Amino acid sequence: MDKDNKVAVDLSYLKEVASDNIEFMVEMIDIFLAQTPDYVSILSNAVSDENWSKIAEMSHKIKPTLAFMGANEAKETMATIESRAREKDDYQGIVVDFGKLKEDFNLIFSGLQEKRKELLASS
């Protein structure tokens, strides 16, 4: 359970932005769940290909959505990956961080699906 807590999604920022509008919150979660796996896949290919500019571009694109969903630790890791890619520095560090993030994304996605169900049940 510790790992779940570490990657837990905290929807308080989304809730604040949405002014507690459950329909809007569910819509934002749906968009995140629809788009982010594709972005992660593109980023994964970029990391495999050691494509610095694509790594920087995709990590930059994913980073704010993680903040929006309250996955702050993942957002910080993504920011580090982006920074390294822009500097063309520490490719091995990018590989290691992204490997960990891929595991975290599974927990983030399942956590958001759970929160989505809770929101729908409460509306």
Question: Does residue 83 belong to any structural domain of this protein?
Answer: yes
The answer to whether residue 3 scores a pLDDT higher than 90 is: no
The answer to whether residue 123 scores a pLDDT higher than 50 is: yes
> What per-residue confidence (pLDDT) applies to 99?
95
- Specify the DSSP element, H or E, that contains 15: helix 12-17
Question: Does residue 57 belong to any structural domain of this protein?
Answer: yes
| Separation of CA 31 from chain center | 12
Count: domains in the chain: 1
What angle, 0 to 180 degrees and rounded to 10, lies between the N-to-C axes of helices 72-87 and 91-122?
150
Question: Does residue 115 belong to any structural domain of this protein?
Answer: yes
Question: Does residue 112 belong to any structural domain of this protein?
Answer: yes
Q: What is the pTM of this model?
A: 0.88
Question: Does residue 2 belong to any structural domain of this protein?
Answer: no
Question: Does residue 1 belong to any structural domain of this protein?
Answer: no
> What per-residue confidence (pLDDT) applies to 9?
87
Query: What does the pLDDT look like over 40-87, one tens digit per residue?
Result: 999 999 999 999 999 999 999 999 999 999 999 999 999 999 999 999
- Of all residues in the chain, the percent with pLDDT exceeding 90 is 89
Question: Does residue 4 belong to any structural domain of this protein?
Answer: no
Range of the domain at 23: 9-122
Question: Does residue 110 belong to any structural domain of this protein?
Answer: yes
Residue pair 94/85 in contact by the 8 Å Cβ criterion: yes
| Separation of CA 2 from chain center | 19
- CATH number of the domain that 38 lies in? 1.20.120.160
